[in-house]
Structure 1
Amino acid sequence: MLSRFTRGSTRQLHASARALDFAKMSIVGRIGTDFSEHTTGNDKRYIKYSIAAQPRRDGQTNWFNVTVFNEPQINFLTQYVRKGALVYIEADASNYTFEREDGSRGISLSLVQREVNMLRNGKVVDAEAAADDATSEAS
C-alpha cells in the first residue's frame, strides 16, 4: 500500500497559512485573587485576576495572570464565581518583552481568556462568621 506522503516530500504552505498560527493555553486551577475591573482608553470594560495551578500535590504552585474582555464572561465571573473556585480556562497566550528600571530585560506572559468553565465554586465567606472568628482569635 502506498502512503500519501513519500519520504522526502514536503508539505506546501502558502502565505495565508501564517494567519492560522496561534498560541493557546488550557489551565485547570483555582481563582487566587479578587476580580479587578478596568476600562480601556476606548471605554471597554475588562477584568483581571490570577489563577493558581498545582500540577502535583507536592509540587510548586504556578500563578498565571488572566485578562478577560468578553462581556458575558465578565458578568458570569463577577456575579457567580468566587475566589477559590476551581475553573478550567482556555486563553490566547503571548509573550511580551519589557525593560526593568535597572535596564535588564524581562519577559511577561499575557493570557487573554477565551473560554471559562467553573468546575467547583469557592467557599461562601460569611462576613458575620469571619468577624466572629476574628474576635474569638483576638481573645
Structure 2
Amino acid sequence: MSAFLRTASRTSAVRTATRAFSTTTPRPVARITIVGNLAGPPELQATSTGNEILRYAVASSSGSRDNRTTSWFNVTSFEQAGPRRDYLQSIPKGALVYVEGDATMSSYTDAEGKPRKALNIVQRHLEVLRRPADHSGQE
C-alpha cells in the first residue's frame, strides 16, 4: 500500500471517529461566555406574541489600565414566570455575572437607512459571582 493511501485512510478514519459518539447531525452553534458587570437590573418586556422576555446588558472590560476597553453585550432571557425569573429580576446593577449563551449575528437597516449588524445573545445560564456592596458597606 502506498504512503498516500495509508495517509488517506487514516485521515478518513479520524473524520469518522470524531462524530462516532453522537447520533445527531452536526449543527453549527456559536456559544459565548461573558464575565462582566450588569449595566442595570434585567427588565421584563412583552413581545408582539404576548410572551414576556428579560433583557439586560453586561459590560466586560479587558486590557491594562492605560489601554482598557469595555465591550457591551445585550442579552435576552426566555425564563418563564416563576421564582427563577423573579431572582434574575432582583440582581442589582453592578453585579458581577457569568453568562453562557447562544450567539447569532443579524443585519438590519437603521432609521437613517444605514446597514447595521448586531450580535444577539440568548442566555442559557447565568450565575451571580459577586453582588455590589450596598450603601451601608455590607454585601
- Cα deviation for residue 55 of structure 1 reads 2.2
How many pairs were matched up?
A: 119
Residue ranges of structure 2 left out of the alignment (5+ in a row):
1-5
Q: Separation in 1 of the partners of 2:79 and 2:61?
A: 26
Paired position in structure 2 for 1:129: none
- Cα deviation for residue 35 of structure 1 reads 2.2
Q: Deviations over 1:80-128 (max 9, x none)?
A: x1110001000110100001233321101111111001100123257xx
Instruction: Evaluate the alpha carbon distance shift between residue 96 and residue 73 of structure 1 in structure 2; reply closer, same or farther with a 3 A threshold.
Output: farther
- Cα deviation for residue 70 of structure 1 reads 1.3
Say whether residues 1:122 and 2:132 are aligned partners. Answer: yes
Q: Separation in 1 of the partners of 2:114 and 2:89?
A: 37
CA contact (8 A) 1:49 1:65 kept: yes
The partner residue of 1:100 within 107, 110, 121 is 110
Q: Could you tell me the TM-score, scaled by structure 2's length?
A: 0.72
2:75 maps to amino acid: V
CA contact (8 A) 2:36 2:98 kept: yes
Kindly, what percent of the aligned residue pairs are identical?
29
The partner residue of 1:70 within 64, 76, 79 is 79
Q: Could you tell me the TM-score, scaled by structure 1's length?
A: 0.72
The partner residue of 2:94 within 84, 105, 108 is 84
Say whether residues 1:17 and 2:25 are aligned partners. Answer: yes
- Cα deviation for residue 61 of structure 1 reads 0.7
- Cα deviation for residue 30 of structure 1 reads 0.4
2:105 maps to amino acid: N
Paired position in structure 1 for 2:59: 52
Q: Separation in 2 of the partners of 1:121 and 1:92?
A: 25
Residue ranges of structure 1 left out of the alignment (5+ in a row):
127-139
